Amino acid sequence: MATLVLGAVGSAVGGAFLPGGVSLLGTALSGASIGGALGSIAGSFVDQALLGPLATSSGQTRIEQGPRLFDLKLSGSSEGAPIPRVYGRARLPGQLIWATHFKEEVIVTSQTTGGGQTKGGKNVFDSSGGGAQGKGETVQTVEYRYFANAAYAICEGPITRVGHIWADGKELDQSDFTIRVHRGDEDQNADSLIAAKEGGSDHAPAYRGTAYVVFDTMPLARFGNRLPQLNFEVFRAADDFEKIIKAVNLIPSAGEFVYEDDRVIRIEGGTTIAENLHTALGGTDWKVALDQLEEQLPNVGNVSLVVSWFGTDLRIGECDVRPGVEVAAKTTQPYAWSVGGITREGAYVVSQVNDRPAYGGTPSDKAVVSAIQTLKARGFSVTFYPFISMDVAEGNSLPDPYSGDAGQPPYPWRGRITCDPAPGEPGTVDKTGACASQVDAFVGDAAPADFAIAGDTVLYSGPEEWSFRRFILHYAHLCEAAGGVDAFLIGSEMRGLTQVRDSASHYPFVAALVALAADVKSVLGPGTKVTYAADWSEYFGHQPADGCALNHDTRDAGTRNATRSAVLFPCRLRCSIFPIRRLSSPCSCSRDARTFERPPSHTSLDPHRRPRMTSTSR
């Protein structure tokens, strides 16, 4: 009513004040029409204010409908378009080759507003005085959601894998979609969805020789209810190199939840931040990495899982080896960081570079157990590789065993851990009893009986020490908690320790490795191969200038039989670690170190230089 009344009043007022009207963009508007429009708008607000409570008290239902599609809008698809051929890595647009009609999903929601006691309230039309109860207005909202089934051809197959996907220029979070990649083999079968829609595999194209991607029930709301323009990152090997790789080292070795298969978040200021989800490829970083490993290196059978603790000093008698965290305070879900029963509050905190942690923290025990079990479930043999990362920060004042000066080189190679002073330096303790004492301090007294498996972690009750034995035996027990591993390394590239002596012909750290190998073997059982991963400079034994050329197989006959796979002499190491797949193969070389020859002179590098290690083995 108010709309009609105020519209008429507005027309009269507009005609009186603007008898000649106005001109807008060449169009003449009379004063009456302008006034009438303004009056009608004002009247509609009055009607809503007065009649809305009446509709509420009468129980009226109002239906509001969202936008609905009536036409199918598709991305472009060109008949006769060339099929690209890729070598290496490329970003390619997709050609739509198959699609169904959009699937419509109707969502109806109801909400009742108003109602309540009318007497004394806002219902100006209540004249009963009896306090009638209003029924309220019910608002039904009808929304329409659309989904598409579509297939996009990419290029000639077979490809290695598809990486990132972009929709309308923005990277697609693949975890939000059901996506199937067909690599374009000549014998590939039709996609299950296409076969189901086309009436069976006999009536569905398999697109053999063409790599294509199928989106199953793809939600379209974020794309304006249309199929987006898609681009795909495509990988294709140029030769057979990737097929001959049989084993890999899996790093980074440090990262508190880097090996966790499930999502872990941290809570900061009321917001949640993913700890182990930094990719839009669909899943946690660990899951995506393993998926890519299987796709790109299809014949890999052995994975060496690398996990770090942190060394604190190059002087063997002063060096602790302990697990560390990135920051002292962090709240994470669904579980908190813990290694060996040590929680974040009591853990060593790694040093910083430019106000950021120099390393990721030691992977939590629970994440390591999960990683081993996941690798085994995917069919990989697992070699466990405990790794010492040296956390000696820039600007430290620690005495350097190689020079005696204050300040050790920052973040050195673990192969430089040695006695103090180092061999060849003035006053060195090499070839003296003091060297054995320093080695004993580093190795420690932790015994297998000091550890207890508690679910997916290991508890320690032995001497208060952060020793090498505690480090290695902790992970031997953790591997056992995970169900065992195929091979276990008791150390790697510790040439600065395997070459120090407490007499002219005895190597205390090598003897400690032999004993440790036997203890690890007793924990993991005869089915696990136990060995030490030598640096290349250790392959030919120790041949010092004083003429005492010795190998490092210091075991007696009984120990040899008890720890047959705990091989410590360099020639076997060369055969067993490179490649890993030959761990059980016999060595064809003599075990007598005197038959070893030095490498050619061009390989004689600075003994303190960190050599490169291969991450793959053939």
Give the DSSP letter string of 543-611: --TTS--B-S----HHHHHHTTT-B-SHHHHHHHHSSGGGTTSPP-S-S-GGG--PPPGGG---TTS--
Are the C-beta atoms of 371 and 364 separated by less than 8 Å? Answer: no
Rounded (5°) CA angle 89-91-92: 120
Secondary structure of the chain: what % helix, strand, coil (to 5)?
A: 30, 25, 45
Residue 81: φ, ψ to 5°: -65, 140
Which of 198, 57, 34 has the alpha carbon at shortest distance from 126?
57
Q: What is the pLDDT of residue 564?
A: 34
Whether the Cβ atoms of residue 391 and residue 409 lie closer than 8 Å to each other: no
Specify the DSSP class assigned to residue 21: -
- Give the Cα separation of 255 and 252 in Å (integer): 7
CB atoms within 10 A of CB 616: 17
Rounded-to-integer distance, Cα 272 and Cα 263, Å: 12
In 118-229, at which residue ranges do the beta strands (DSSP E only) sit?
A: 133-134, 137-156, 161-167, 170-171, 178-182, 210-219
Q: Do β-strands 529-533 and 487-492 pair in parallel, antiparallel, or remain unpaired? A: parallel
10-residue stretch averages of pLDDT, the chain, 618 residues long: 68 70 60 70 67 54 58 60 91 92 87 58 46 64 90 93 92 91 94 93 92 95 90 91 93 95 91 91 92 93 97 97 96 96 95 96 97 97 98 96 95 97 95 96 98 93 97 98 97 95 93 97 96 89 73 43 34 28 32 30 34 34
Nearest alpha-carbon partner for 39 in 79, 90, 1 = 1
Model pLDDT, residue 141? 85
Torsions phi, psi of 129, nearest 5?
Answer: 70, 0
Cα separation, 189 vs 2, whole angstroms: 69
Residue of 483, 472, 486 whose CA lies nearest to 582: 486
305 and 372 Cβ atoms separated by less than 8 Å: yes
The Cα–Cα gap between 14 and 12 comes to: 6
Residues 6 or more apart from 41 whose CB is under 8 A from it?
none
**Token digits of residue 120:** 């004394």
Residue with tokens 């032995």, as numbered in its chain: 462
Under the phi-then-psi rule, with left for phi > 0, alpha for psi from -120 to 50, and beta for the rest, what region is 341? left
Supply φ then ψ for residue 345, to 5 degrees: -60, -30
Quote the CA–CA distance of 418 and 313 in Å, as a whole number. 10
Q: What is the pLDDT of residue 486?
A: 97
Half-sphere exposure of 89 (CA within 13 A, CB side): 5
